[in-house]
Amino acid sequence: MTEATGGTAGERKPLLRALSGEAVWPPPMWLMRQAGRYLPEYREVRAKAGGFIKLCTTPEMAAEVTIQPIRRYGMDGAILFSDILIVPWALGQGLRFAEGEGPVLDPLRDAAAVAALDPAALRERAAPIFETVRLTRAALEAHAARVALIGFAGSPWTVAAYMVEGHGSRDFAAARGMAYADPTLFGRLIRTLVDATTDYLLAQIEAGAEAVMLFDSWAGMLPPSQFRRWVIEPTAIIVRNIRRQHPTIPVIGFPRLAGPLIGEYTVRTGVGTVAMDTAMDPRFAAGAVAPNIGLQGNLDPLSLIAGGVALEAEARQILAAMRGRPFVFNLGHGIEKTTPPEHVAQLVRLVRTGG
């Protein structure tokens, strides 16, 4: 397999061209959570798996759901079906997905809990994820050669927030409080996650991922000083670590709700593409980010639920703002489970015309 744009096969893939700084038009597209609960075929596989972690760690099933939206819509990118909390799970932190509650972890609140994390076990415990990458890449090469495979991980701040809190939260007060009250301990956790996330993404690349994405879903709840320390600095280290071994692999960063810090984030982390959240004005982002850096996003998932004229109007505004620069059409957050599949088909038809 050729690495990203390092070979002829990679150069033909529209998504990799855009992620490598080329203004491709019409733009390539994929959607965050495109393999998920809004698809009846996904729900069938999930029911057979019997649990979310079981689905993520059964390679044949995870590869199947990764490919489902490619079959249905012909997206330009297939994103690995997994979860950002696989890394703490692989480090040994207890994790379960309670029906109707989301993820629940054993809260990590002291030095002993941080010291108990086991980075040496990560590759063995996460081996099913890497096998999913291999199976998916092989299937894409055989049946959808123009589609690029995207691996991913959560960024250290967001993953640490879940690890400390023990569950999802509106404000992640325990994690933010630890970062202020005991920055030495919190920094130790972040460093563990930087190393583990680097290893996790490198293993995905070795298995066949052609680009990787770092999701920092809760970046926007931090003030600028904390954003720089816990979002920008760890992400920059991960990007440098990846580039040392795989200099041509595209890296996408998603600092959700970064607002005016999006430009600084892009410069200091070194990501080649930055994903815009729903609240970001694409015209502001185009002015804040260098023209050779790709932008990705940022349709409101609720407009996709609405469909029709409203969907087309929102999509056309984004396309108009992004024309002439490296751009990947996507959502500004993950697709909602109530999204009608036919609305996704409507969006794909529109983007394929360039607006």
Name the residue among 301, 264, 292 with its Cα closest to residue 18: 292
* Strand boundaries in the chain, DSSP class E: 77-79, 95-98, 102-105, 148-154, 211-216, 251-255, 273-275, 294-299, 327-331
Count of CB atoms situated within 10 Å of the CB of 124: 9
Q: Which of 37, 43, 72, 243 is catalytic?
A: 37
Q: Which of 17, 33, 256, 325 is catalytic?
A: 33
Q: How far apart are CA 116 and CA 93, in angstroms?
A: 9
Question: Which residues have CB under 8 Å from 56's CB, separation 6+?
Answer: 62, 81, 82, 83, 86, 128, 129
- Residue 180 among the catalytic residues: no
- Residue 46 among the catalytic residues: yes
The CA distances from residue 38 to 46, 108, 165, 255, 331, in Å, are 12, 33, 28, 25, 15
Q: How far apart are CA 128 and CA 8, in angstroms?
A: 29
Q: Which of 38, 73, 162, 200 is catalytic?
A: 162
Which residue is listed with tokens 């999913």? 132
- Residue 191 among the catalytic residues: no
- Residue 83 among the catalytic residues: yes
Q: Which of 38, 42, 46, 325 is catalytic?
A: 46
- Residue 265 among the catalytic residues: no
The CA distances from residue 295 to 15, 81, 122, in Å, are 12, 22, 31
Q: Which of 76, 83, 199, 277 is catalytic?
A: 83
- Name the residues annotated as catalytic: 33, 37, 46, 83, 162
